[in-house]
Structure 1
Amino acid sequence: MEVVYDLTAECERFLSDVGGSDGLLNVWVPHATAGLAVLETGAGSDDDLLTALRALLPKDGRWRHRHGSPGHGRDHVLPALVAPSVTVPVLGGQMALGTWQSVCLVDTNVDNPVRRIRLSFLAG
């Protein structure tokens, strides 16, 4: 299933566990068919992003990368548009996100429902 999955709570838990104060949180998705975005969720922006990606990257037979479900080649282009990493400033142990911002996994690959996210904290 195509998804925009909010990772903000997992990121906050990680920062709490590592005792991060001030620094940078790096979020990385080690998959060739997923990306990360900072955006508003729950008010339609997450669905709008998936709609825009469907328009930019149609799930049809135009793709040279052909293994998997029909149109799967477009999933391999996704990380060029939605980067596989994001870095968020951390101040006083809290991500310095805007009021409506969330850290989200963006995944259009219906062939692989299992994703891993790598979190790291650079104090500074």
Structure 2
Amino acid sequence: MRSELITVRTGSRPTVRDITAEAEQFVAGSGDGLLHVFVPHATAGVAIIETGAGSDDDLLTALDAVLPTDGRWRHRHGSPGHGRDHVLPAFVAPYATLPVLDGRLALGTWQSICLVDTNGDNPTRQVRFSFLSG
């Protein structure tokens, strides 16, 4: 298995950051296999969604509706409502596994690999790409 850790700047507000290009670069020329994308953080996730047509903003709006940034959370360190960031990975898993065929990601036409980060307290994140040859 081949593995690499990259650093992604997410900034100080909730964001959906497309990391497809970085993943494509990692698997380029690798043949057939599986790409595993993992975010080693307690407050971020990985989503396979369409970007650029509003879906990324819609995802953040939906997460705000389900996980509001108010005082209901028992986990209370950090910014107000930060407890919701620790619940996020139960809704947006911190990993995804994708097929790679002939060194290319086998994504659908409108699919992108996105890092979902609602925690503005940490402006940079790490993402681990691991390729398992098939």
Q: Residue 35 in 1 paired to residue 37 in 2? A: no
In the other structure, the counterpart of 2:93 is 83
Query: Tell me, which stretches of 5 or more residues in structure 1 are unaligned?
Result: none
**Percentage of pairs with the same residue:** 73
In the other structure, the counterpart of 1:15 is 27
Report the secondary structure of 1:37's partner residue: strand
Match of 1:3 among 7, 15, 19: 15
Question: Normalised by the size of structure 2, how large is the TM-score?
Answer: 0.90
In the other structure, the counterpart of 1:121 is 131
How many residues were matched structurally? Answer: 122
Report the secondary structure of 1:63's partner residue: coil
Q: In 1, Cα distance between the equivalents of 2:45 and 2:62? A: 15
Question: Normalised by the size of structure 1, how large is the TM-score?
Answer: 0.97
Q: In 2, Cα distance between the equivalents of 1:73 and 1:66? A: 6
In the other structure, the counterpart of 1:58 is 68
Shift of 1:20: 1.2
Shift of 1:21: 0.7
Query: Tell me, which stretches of 5 or more residues in structure 2 are unaligned?
Result: 1-12
Shift of 1:108: 0.3
Report the secondary structure of 1:106's partner residue: strand
Q: In 2, Cα distance between the equivalents of 1:13 and 1:92? A: 13
Q: In 2, Cα distance between the equivalents of 1:111 and 1:40? A: 26
Structure (1/2) with the larger strand percentage:
2
Shift of 1:114: 1.1
Q: Which runs of 4 or more aligned residues in structure 1 lie more than 2 Å from their structure 2 counterparts after TM superposition?
A: none
Counterpart AA for 1:62: R
Q: In 2, Cα distance between the equivalents of 1:20 and 1:9? A: 15
In the other structure, the counterpart of 1:107 is 117
Structure (1/2) with the larger helix percentage:
1
Q: In 2, Cα distance between the equivalents of 1:114 and 1:5? A: 11
Shift of 1:69: 0.5
In the other structure, the counterpart of 1:95 is 105
